[in-house]
Amino acid sequence: MVKLGALPAQAVIDDFKGKVDFYVYKGQPCARRWPTWPRRIATGQEAANQQAFAYAIKSWSELSEYIRQMYSFMAAGTGLSPRDFFVRSYLKGNPFYNA
């Protein structure tokens, strides 16, 4: 953290977006390196789940309007959107999935 006398102009802040984080802490203008987190490699099972999820999302856009309406009917009262209901059904192997 670096204490500043004043925050720089908005144009300067915009130029450093993604590199430097400008903020005010207890009334003191400060700057720090933009927060980063180390990338984590997905496990084999996580990667397989990501592929299945991506396939389900793509499949939703390819369904006919009639099938989407049926998922809308089934999702009513569950708190899920029809797409979320479809994806959950696909990932869990639910018999409602028929694509």
Contact present, 63 and 82 (Cβ < 8 Å): no
Contact present, 94 and 88 (Cβ < 8 Å): yes
| Full-model pTM | 0.56
Helices (H) and strands (E) in the chain, counts: 4, 3
Q: What is the pLDDT along the chain (99 residues), one digit of tens a residue?
A: 899 999 999 999 999 988 999 999 999 999 999 888 888 888 999 998 999 999 999 999 999 999 999 999 999 988 999 999 999 988 888 756 544
Instruction: Name the token pair of 28.
Output: 């003191």
